[in-house]
Amino acid sequence: MLDENLPTYHFKPSSDSPLHTILYFTHNGSDSAATYILMRADPALPQAKNKYAVALTEASSQSIVYAECLVEPHWTQPTLSQAEIRANNGVPPPATPVVPDTVSLDLYNPDSQVVIRSKPGSWGKSDSWEFELPEQSFRAPSASMLDRDAEASAPPVADVVPKVVFRWKKESRLGREMTCYMVGRSVDGRKSKEPDITIAMFKEGRHGGSTVTIYEPNLRRVEVQDRKGLDIVLLLGAEVVRDVWLNPKPGLFNTGATPPPAAGRRKDSRGQSSSPVGGATMSGAIGAAPPQAPTAPSAVPPPRKDQHEIDAETRRLQAMVAEEERQARERERQARERERADAEEARRIKAMLDQEEQERRRKQAAVEAETERLRRQYGVQGQAYGGGPSPGPISSGGTAAPGLPPRPGGAGRGTYFATNNLPHPSPPPRPVSAGPQGAQMSGGSQGWWKPSGGGHQHSASGGAGAGGKKPSSNPLSGLLGSGGVYGNPAASVSNFFARHREQHGEGQRPREAEGDDGRKLTKKRSTHF
């Protein structure tokens, strides 16, 4: 106790009912006297389900209610996390009550409402709870009926009435002591800050008893008309702040259906416990249940789910169905997009293949046109340089195609190669000076230097037979031989090669050739065109 001379209220549980708390008042060292009774809602009543209700009544008559408070919590939405549902054995966790930031105290005669707002603390600041009281609570008496009608229809306290701002402040972060300060005034919603003035102090006892001490010296500075209303708000507000924010209990909002155990009931002379006296029913949640006649024991009904669990399950199923529908729509949309993309890709690939086919056909047509042009210009029969004549191109009928015409302006060897593919005509008559034509000189170019019958063959450079010459070391022997390019009668009798042989010692005597009668003929050097 701060000082026994200060007005002090002691909160002590009632021995008759665990739901009642008696407030004992002492002042200037006087004996404690029961002044008020703090009544809590009975959890067995259906009206008290999921609610916190408390009322301050007269100790001598509980039907006189000075003020009461009714708090309905907010509920958290059920989680949709599969991990949390699996951790809870496949059952979604039940909704959890959340304490609101504001609570209201309803005062009667005169009727008014005081709102307590919670302000969480920060670093270096403790939690606080703020409320306001009007400076003028009572209306002036009037004999006019108009004033009475206006008083009945008007709100309890107008907003334009100046109000005094009070604040319950927690003394320490770990302690459970609070101090109420007057911090300023509020006029039409605009607050003016003033130095903090101590009004009351709250201290929670170890065994559940609490104490509220009114600091009487500072009450002279409080400009509040309803002093008794101020005391009621301080007492009821301190208890509500303690139960809801300062030291909340697990069954604060009566979420369970099990009523608290009955303790400390008086027994009469017959050994029967007496039922508590019915209390106030202003809030609809406070008061004892009516006595019921004893009934025969019956079978215990199966446990029934609470309403919030049913609502939570309903919301969960609705959310699950909505999520499945959304996923189905998303899958259909993705399937349509994939089909559209596949069709577009198929069209693109088909167009690319068609373009490649057209390009291939164009190139093939160009190649065929160029081949046909070259065939018409040059033909396809090969050119032989010393071998046998190549067969001409074979037509579709199986016959040889005609050779190409001779190139204009060609003479000598060019004319020979150009006309090599044609049928060989009879050679022109040789001049008289060249001597008689032998069997080796008749025919085409394939018959040069080829012996006829069983005669002996003599190369231009001589052989190992009779009358042959020793092989020469002339580097042009390969070209002038029988297999050489220039190994023909015209080249052998030209003056150019004769001069070349004379320079190398090979043309000292004229070349001889065998006739049909076996005699050697001497050829005259001449030029054959």
- The Cβ-side half-sphere exposure at 323, using a 13 Å CA radius, reads 8
- Tokens representing 526 are 């001449």
pLDDT tens digits, 484-524? 555 555 555 555 555 555 555 554 454 444 555 555 555 55
* 41-44 long-range Cβ contacts below 8 angstroms, 24+ apart: 41/254, 41/283, 41/285, 41/286, 42/259, 42/286, 42/287, 42/288, 42/289, 43/251, 43/254, 43/256, 43/257, 43/258, 43/259, 43/260, 44/259, 44/289
Q: What share of the chain is helix, strand, coil (3-state, %, to 5)?
A: 25, 20, 50
Once rounded to an integer, what is the mean pLDDT over residues 256-265? 45
Q: Per-domain residue ranges for the chain?
A: 8-141+150-246, 310-379, 487-529
Place of tokens 């208890």: 239
- CB of 177 within 8 A of CB of 202? yes
What does the angle CA 208 – CA 212 – CA 214 come to, to the nearest 5 degrees?
175
**Of 9-18, 19-28, 407-416, 496-505, which range is least confident?**
407-416
pLDDT tens digits, 169-184? 988 777 788 999 999 9
Neighbours of 234 (CB within 10 A): 22
Neighbours of 178 (CB within 10 A): 24
Once rounded to an integer, what is the mean pLDDT over residues 330-345? 94
pLDDT value of residue 527? 59
- Tokens representing 345 are 């890709």
Is the domain covering 8-141+150-246 a CATH 1.10.3470 domain? no
| Mean of per-residue pLDDT scores for the chain | 73
- Tokens representing 333 are 């949309």
- CB of 513 within 8 A of CB of 523? yes
- Ranked by mean pLDDT, the top range of 42-51, 137-146, 342-351 is 342-351
45: DSSP letter: S
* Distance from C-alpha of 267 to C-alpha of 274, rounded to nearest angstrom: 6
Q: What are phi and psi of 115, to 5 degrees?
A: -105, 125
Once rounded to an integer, what is the mean pLDDT over residues 282-304? 47
Query: Is the dihedral angle over the CA atoms 28, 31, 36, 38 positive or is it negative?
Result: positive
pLDDT value of residue 192? 86
* Distance from C-alpha of 46 to C-alpha of 54, rounded to nearest angstrom: 16
Neighbours of 514 (CB within 10 A): 17
pLDDT value of residue 180? 95
pLDDT at 285 over 60: no
pLDDT tens digits, 299-336? 444 444 567 778 888 888 999 999 999 999 999 999 99
pLDDT tens digits, 223-239? 898 899 999 999 999 99
- CB of 105 within 8 A of CB of 240? yes
Are β-strands 52-58 and 20-26 bridged in parallel, bridged antiparallel, or unpaired?
unpaired
Spell out where 455-527 has E strands. Answer: 512-514, 520-522
- Tokens representing 446 are 């394939």
pLDDT at 144 over 50: yes
